């Protein structure tokens, strides 16, 4: 199979028939073998009934339905598990042929869309988004303009090698790079105005996005060796406290200085040694957890075909 199109959705009943017809037209025009995987993330409207009707008309459609809303990352993660295509594309259809060629013929592992010209930009949304993308580029070294663009294409082995959860879908390129897939590209795509429904994203996503970025950065650098971070910081902090303690002891017995317990340096030394010990133990415990745990997230899937 050439292409798997993964479409996570939440209360998008009105837009699904048009999107499915659009994808089917593009696939037939380019003679692609394909599948469309709709992942219903706990919709409360008639989205699942609409997917079932579309399945009757198009046997290339597959559906997954969550019992409740788990978020876009969970929906993508389940879609990735069942994807069979050589190239996996998330969202939209207009750019499918070019994205397919960039993966299959140009050798990219992942291609991310860039909505260079947007129709929904506002000052409150545009400025934070630009700052978010700039800081992500600086922290990760990945030169993409729009990390949060839903239109992406992946080599199949990429989606089978990564796991996303929470709201980590924003950082799939970062996760893929950490997994060894470094050939990451970008393509300018056309931004379509929303015809139905409302946006599921609010201002709160920026705070959550930065917290997720810190998590991803830590995991990609120290996830397999947490002792390198916590143990190193703990050892340095403890050593600083120990040196200060030695200075105080030397002053007391060599220079007959008294009242050491009333000096700020005494309490700073104690604090450094206690904090250093705690950091070292944190690294040790993190190593134990990392070496013995194998995380597998289970979602409440009510129906699947």
Predicted pLDDT at 184: 94
Predicted pLDDT at 49: 94
Euclidean distance between CA atoms 111 and 276, whole angstroms: 43
Predicted pLDDT at 294: 46
Predicted pLDDT at 13: 87
Q: For the packed helices 47-57 and 16-29, what is the interaxial angle rounded to 10 degrees?
A: 30
Mean pLDDT (10-residue bins), the chain, 305 residues: 91 88 91 94 92 94 92 89 92 71 91 76 64 83 85 92 79 87 87 53 61 73 78 93 91 76 88 94 82 57 75
Euclidean distance between CA atoms 214 and 304, whole angstroms: 34
The token pair at 21 is: 């017809």
Predicted pLDDT at 192: 57
Euclidean distance between CA atoms 85 and 4, whole angstroms: 5
Do 116 and 151 form a contact (C-beta atoms < 8 A)? no
* DSSP assignment string, the chain: --EEEEEEESS-TTTHHHHHHHHHHHHHHTT--EEEEEEE-S-SSSHHHHHHHHHHH-TTEEEEEESS---HHHHHHHHHHH--SSEEEES-STTHHHHHHHHHTS--SEEEEE--S-SS--HHHHHHHHHHHHHHHHHH----S-TT-S-EEEEHHHHTT----TTGGGGHHHHHHHTT---EEEEE-PPPPP-SS--S--THHHHHHHHHHHHHHHHHHHTT-HHHHHHHHHHHHHHHHHHHHHHHHHHHHHS----GGGSHHHHHHHHHHHHHHHHHHHHHHHHHHHHH--------EEEE-
The verdict on domain 3-223 having CATH code 3.30.43.10 is: no
Domain map of the chain by residue range? 3-223, 226-288
Q: What is the pTM of this model?
A: 0.69
Residue 6, phi then psi, degrees to nearest 5? -100, 125
* Region at 92 (left for phi over 0; alpha for psi -120 to 50; beta for the rest): left
Predicted pLDDT at 195: 53
């Amino acid at each position: 199979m050439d292409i798997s199109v993964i479409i996570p959705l939440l209360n998008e009943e009105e837009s699904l028939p048009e999107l499915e017809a659009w994808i089917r037209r593009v696939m037939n025009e380019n003679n692609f073998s394909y599948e469309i995987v709709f992942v219903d993330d706990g919709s409360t409207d008639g989205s699942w009934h609409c997917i079932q009707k579309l399945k009757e008309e198009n046997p290339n459609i597959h559906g997954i339905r969550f019992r409740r809303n788990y978020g876009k990352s969970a929906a993508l993660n389940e879609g990735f598990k069942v994807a069979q295509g050589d190239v996996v594309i998330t969202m939209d259809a207009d750019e499918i042929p070019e994205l397919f060629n960039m993966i299959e013929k140009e050798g990219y592992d992942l291609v991310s869309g860039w909505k260079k010209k947007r129709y929904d930009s506002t000052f409150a949304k545009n400025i934070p988004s630009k700052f978010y993308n700039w800081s992500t580029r600086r922290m990760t070294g990945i030169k993409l303009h729009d990390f949060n663009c839903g239109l992406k294409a992946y080599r199949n082995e990429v989606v089978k090698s990564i796991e996303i959860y929470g709201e980590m879908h924003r950082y799939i390129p970062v996760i893929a790079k950490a997994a060894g897939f470094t050939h990451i590209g970008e393509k300018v795509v056309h931004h379509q105005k929303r015809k139905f429904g409302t946006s599921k994203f609010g201002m709160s996503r920026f705070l959550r996005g930065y917290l997720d970025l810190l998590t991803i950065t830590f995991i990609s650098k120290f996830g397999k060796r947490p002792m390198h971070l916590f143990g190193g910081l703990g050892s340095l902090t403890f050593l600083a406290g120990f040196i200060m303690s030695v200075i105080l002891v030397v002053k007391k017995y060599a220079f007959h200085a008294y009242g050491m317990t009333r000096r700020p340096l005494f309490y700073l030394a104690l604090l450094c040694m206690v904090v250093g010990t705690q950091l070292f133990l944190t690294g040790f415990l993190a190593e134990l957890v990392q070496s013995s745990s194998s995380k597998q997230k289970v979602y409440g899937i009510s129906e699947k075909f």
